[in-house]
Structure 1
């Protein structure tokens, strides 16, 4: 586990707890890049330092941990590990659709903290990688649809075979140093304007 340096933020009103968490995590090579004792203060620091993991006390003064975690999710910053005095099914249900990736019931045990923190960071990284892949796939499909439409316009209006229509779009893309999607969009736009005349 040594050498795995993650940037971690700790939000809790309990100074002794923060100190203990900091000590455990630092011994394992993690970097504590911020601490705060209330919800609003936590949020300010989190937005500034952009940690890999946020550890929040459920009962943060001013703004509960769950509320802070919702904002962290909206800003797509990082995963949250929530500390809670007791195991609560209701809290678990609320957290299902948020970026609270795990709960730790106090008192915090060193082994639990380290394994859970490590698991949460890895799970989040995998999730973000999948989300990027999904976005790339959507973009690829969108491009393909637009290119297909532009190709159809060229085939119909210039009486070109499919391969030649595609080659022309490709050629324009290279000549103008533009993505094929942009060239295809320009062809569609020109056609739509002409059609409206």
Structure 2
């Protein structure tokens, strides 16, 4: 997507590409393409486009300003783009609707609307995956977050080495669910397929030392390369004959 966009912008292709995936940066790109500069692209513009196209765009919601500032610094140091900040859950939902980020990070305890309730609204509208921050690792809290659709949670205090894997886990799980929804029709079939994919991921992680996102990407790639469904690939990994558990 990044290189297709840039090649179109510099005149290799005559049409304006689909820029919907660039979110808040698409207007910048459209203006640059439409300016009709026959001298060719400005190198700084190309570098800027490449950077903003590859950064994950994040909204953070935390009612304590100092913690929010620390979180923003951690994210930006690791190459994430913080596109919105909120001090309560209701404002976070509004920002998510407006900005369509790649991820929303929410503290559990916030005024107006708590983080779990905000996550439930964001996830139910298919806006973005949510990562929940909490000072407690209580089982009931974790279950509430999971039931609300949160893709991962992180217990405070945390370091950058804790934050980045949690973010990538949340995004990967969100992409996995979206991919399964596209592939599988009914809810019951999706649940069965997801269970099977989870088993396959576990085996791949144990055998190859992969992370969960790496294991899922392997299943996706194998599915495309072999022209099989992800369910069929997962069945092969776990030792089932494809189609054996269907029907």
TM tier, smaller:
0.5 to 0.7
The alignment yields a C-alpha RMSD, in angstroms, of 1.6
Give 2:82's aligned residue: 32
CA distance in 2, matches of 1:122, 1:101: 9
What's the secondary structure of 1:83's corresponding residue?
Answer: strand
Residues of 1 paired with 2:164 and 2:66: CA distance? 18
Write out per-residue CA displacement over residues 15-63 of structure 1, whole angstroms, 9 at most, x where no aligned residue. Answer: 1111111111111111111001012111111110011111000001111
- What is the aligned partner in structure 2 of residue 131 from structure 1? 181
- If you compute each CA radius of gyration, which structure gives the higher value, 1 or 2? 1
Give the drift of 1:135: 4.3
Q: Which has the higher contact order (CA 8 A, sep 6+)?
A: 1
Q: Report what 2:128 is aligned to.
A: 78
Query: Counterpart in 2 of 1:141?
Result: none
Equivalent in 84, 107, 111 of residue 57 of structure 1: 107
Which residue of structure 2 lines up, in the alignment, with residue 88 of structure 1?
Answer: 138
2: distance between equivalents of 1:69 and 1:12? 13
Scaled by the length of structure 2, the TM-score of the pair is: 0.52
What's 1:154 paired with?
none
Q: Distance in 2 between matches of 1:25 and 1:96?
A: 23
Query: How far apart, in 1, do the equivalents of 2:55 and 2:78 lie?
Result: 8
TM-score normalised per structure 1: 0.64
Corresponding residue number in structure 1 for 2:17 = none
Partner of 1:118: 168
Partner of residue 26, structure 2: none
Native 8 Å contact 2:152 2:169 kept in 1 = no
61, 84, 101: which one pairs with 1:11? 61
Match of 1:42 among 67, 75, 92: 92
| 1:109 aligns to 2:175 (yes or no) | no
Give unmatched runs, 5+ long, in structure 1. 137-197
Q: How many residues align?
A: 134
